[in-house]
Structure formats: C-alpha cells, structure tokens
Amino acid sequence: MRVVLKIVKKALPSVSMYFVIFFGMTIAMSFLTGKDQEKMYQATELTIYVEDKEASVLSKTLTEYLAQENEVETEYDKELLSDLLFSGLVDYVVYFEEGFEENFLAGKKGGIERQSTKPNMAFVDQKIELFFQYVRGELAMGKSLEDACASVLKNTENHAETEVLSGRQSMSTRPGYFFFTFLAYILPCILIMVLGPVMYSFYRKDIKMRTDCGMVSVRKQNTEVVKGIVLVAVVFWALFMGLGAIIYHRDFTPAEYLLGTLNSFAFLLFSVTISVLLGVLLPSTEALNGASNVLGLGMSFLCGVFVPAYLLPDYVNKIGEFLPAGWYMKNVILLNEENAATAHFTEFLTNCGVVTAFAVAVFFVFLVVVKRKKVA
C-alpha cells in the first residue's frame, strides 16, 4: 500500500491541476448560468436586438410589443452583435431605417428589416407581420396612429390560458448541474492518471517477476494493491463530493444530492475499473496520459457532458447508450429537474445499475487480461 501511495504521489501535481480546472470550470459555468447563459437555454424568452434609427411611434410600439415577452437589447456595437448572432445568443435582430413609418402608412415595403441565423425564428416574423395587420386594422377604424398603436398594445393583454404538463424546464439548468456533469469528464481522467501508473508499475514484466519472487505471497501483494487503489479512489471521490456539497448544497435537496452521490459512486466504480484495465494494457505512462484525455474528452462529447444530449444527432445518442457516461448523464439530467430524480426513483436506480454493470464488465475484461499476461 505504501508503494501504491508513493506512485500516486508522483501524479499529484497533474491531478491537482485537474482539480483546479474542474472547479474552475464548474464555478465559471454556474457563474455564467446565473447570468446570460440562461438566455441560451431558456428559449422561451428570446433575445431580440433592436436597432432603431427612426424612433417613430410605430417603431417604438413594435419594440415595446416585442419586449413584452422577450428581452430586447439596444446597445451592442456592430462587432459584438455579429458574434452574438453567430453564436445564437442574440436570436433575432430588427433594424428600423428612416422612413419606415412613412412607408408603412403608404402601404409600401421598406424601412424595416429582420436578421437571424436561426431558421426556427420564423415565428417571430409571423408575430411582427401580425402586429402590422393589427395596426392596419385599427387604422381602418379611423384611429390615429398613436391610438391604433396603443390599442394593439392593450389587446396583447389577451392571453390563452396555459398549462404545462410536466413542469419540465428542459433546457434551463441549475448551477449545480455542471458539478455533476463535469464529474463525468474529470473522474475517469484523474483516476486513469493516478491509478493507471500504479497498475502499470505493478504489472510491468520485470517488476512483476521481482515481486513474485519476493517473500510476500502473491495474494497478499494483490490485497495490498487493491487496498491502496480503493483508498485512493475513495479519497478522491470523497474530496469531490465534499467540496461539491459545500459549494452546491443550495442547489439540491439533501435527497437529491445523496442520489447524485450514489450516481457518481457508480461512475466511480467504472472509472476505477477502466483505469486499472488501461494500466495493465498500455505500454507507458505517457500512453496512459494520452488515453485519459482521449477517453475523458471523447466520451464526454459523445455522451452529452459538454453539449447537451438533445442537440446531438440520434446516432450519437445511440453510441452514448453503449458508454457508461451516457447512462450517468441520464441521471444527471434527472437531477437537473427539481424533484425528478426522486419521482423517477426506479429509473434512477436502473441507470446507476447499468453504470455499475459496465464497471463489472470492464473488471472481468481486466481479470482476463491479467490472467493472459501471466500465462504469456
């Protein structure tokens, strides 16, 4: 066990770096989610940018009309606006030119333009055209433009009664969500880097031969290694969960956090088994380092850790079902919804079970590989 800890100690600088990155990432994300990131996910409220060069009654009314249900921004510079449009943080832009009102009253086109990179913003076009229809209708009653505009705005108070079936906020996120999410990236990364070298050193041919010749029985040696690995894994995991509890306890109910912990434990099992497997398979610590990054980042992208699963193509989501992180993330998504995890408790447990099954499967592969190595 002493030896195990010694090898682990060597990997500590890199590991502490990962710790910093991880908490940097989660904190940065929850900080941004608390602010503007929300717009991106909460598509119910669009961000509409209005550039009004005319500032006429009509243009102002339309702006107000749009602002009723959306966030209207007016003060971005051109460069920022382009970037915002491109990345989709601004959904829709309306440009009013001089002469817009005049054209409208004359029944001519021109003076107002829309811009968006998102085809699904077509309904805003409809909304705006509808606005113009209303104004025309009101004007046909013989009202002045001011009165017509006022009536249109007033009529918008008419709302259909609305009911939402599940109360799901499918695209919004709790700040603490990112803690459990990024854990799917960081856990395998760290454990491969820490435990991989342990296995690598213990099962390297020459060392294996030497230890096998030693006075300590093979069984006892193995027990020592296992003890060390379990200790290290549990310490890391406890560190994450402890710190997570301190930072994010407000975002979850205790029951939910407990479930999250259970879920992460299942994933820990997988991370440990994959680490020891790679440790005996790969030829060098450098290769382990590479594998940890490829596996960590690759699996994360394929399983919706960084980019939410609903944005991924269906076949990628199918791939995700063959990866433990995919099942882990299913539970994290449940945790993201208030009370969903407790409500879908059996589903939650099943997902944990699948992750654990992955761990068991990997462990068997590991046993086979070790056996083969011994025979060879």
Partner 1 sequence: MIHYFYRLKRLLRMKQLFFWSIIFPLLLGTVFKVAFSDATNKDWGFATIPVAVTTEEGGIRDEAFVSFLKEMKNGDVAFFAVEECDRETAEAMLSGGDVSAVIVTGEETKVILRENGLNSTVVKTVVDGYLQSKDMFVEAAMNGKLTEVIGAFSKEIETLGVKEFEGTSKDPFVQYFQALIAMASLYGAMYGLMNTNELDIKFANVSARRLAAPMRAIPTVLCDVAAAFTIQYIQFLINIAYFILILKVDFGSINGWLFLGGVFYSLLGVLNGYFIGTVVQKSDGLQNAIMMGCTMFSCFLAGLMVGNIRISLELTAPIVNRVNQATLIADSMQALCIMGDMEKYARCLLGILIWCVCLVVGSILVLMMRQRRTGRSVKLA
Question: In the range 7-36, which residues lie near partner 1 by CB under 8 A?
Answer: 10, 13-14, 16-18, 20-21, 24-25, 28-29, 31-32, 35-36
Site string for partner 1, 277-316 (x = CB under 8 A): ---------x---x--xx--xx-xxx---xx--xxxx--x
133 lies in the site for partner 1, by CB under 8 A: yes
Query: Shortest distance, CB of residue 339 to partner 1, whole angstroms?
Result: 15
Query: Shortest distance, CB of residue 254 to partner 1, whole angstroms?
Result: 26
333 lies in the site for partner 1, by CB under 8 A: no
Beta-bridge mates of residue 73: 49
156 lies in the site for partner 1, by CB under 8 A: yes
Q: Which stretch binds partner 1 (CB under 8 A): 151-159, 208-216, 233-241, 253-261?
A: 151-159
Beta strand 47-52 with 92-96 is: parallel
**Rounded CA gap, 268 and 271, in Å?**
5
Beta strand 112-115 with 92-96 is: antiparallel
Side-chain half-sphere exposure of 159, counting CA atoms within 13 A: 6
Query: Shortest distance, CB of residue 330 to partner 1, whole angstroms?
Result: 17
Do 285 and 193 form a contact (C-beta atoms < 8 A)? no
Nearer to partner 1, 76 or 363 (CB): 76
Do 89 and 36 form a contact (C-beta atoms < 8 A)? yes
Query: Shortest distance, CB of residue 231 to partner 1, whole angstroms?
Result: 22
Q: What is the distance in angstroms between the CA of the first residue and the CA of the last residue of the chain?
A: 27
Binders of partner 1 among residues 229 to 258 (CB under 8 A) are none
Side-chain half-sphere exposure of 92, counting CA atoms within 13 A: 24
Number of residues assigned to the chain: 376
Binders of partner 1 among residues 67 to 86 (CB under 8 A) are 69, 79-80, 82-86
Nearer to partner 1, 59 or 269 (CB): 59
Do 71 and 47 form a contact (C-beta atoms < 8 A)? yes
Binders of partner 1 among residues 157 to 186 (CB under 8 A) are 158-172, 185
Per CB under 8 A, the list member of 43, 55, 226, 368 interacting with partner 1 is: 43
> Rounded to an integer, what is the distance from CA 201 to the centroid of its chain?
36
Query: Shortest distance, CB of residue 287 to partner 1, whole angstroms?
Result: 8
Size of residue set near partner 1 by CB under 8 A: 104
Per CB under 8 A, the list member of 138, 177, 225, 329 interacting with partner 1 is: 138
Contacts of 109 (CB under 8 A, 6+ apart): 103
How does DSSP classify residue 252? S
Query: Shortest distance, CB of residue 145 to partner 1, whole angstroms?
Result: 13
3-class secondary structure, 111: coil
Q: What angle (nearest 5°) sits at the alpha carbon of residue 248, between those of residues 242 and 252?
A: 110
Nearest to 170 by CA among 304, 34, 337: 337
Nearer to partner 1, 42 or 350 (CB): 42
Query: Shortest distance, CB of residue 149 to partner 1, whole angstroms?
Result: 13
Query: Shortest distance, CB of residue 215 to partner 1, whole angstroms?
Result: 32
Nearer to partner 1, 88 or 353 (CB): 88
Write down the H helix ranges in 303-344: 314-321, 324-336, 340-343
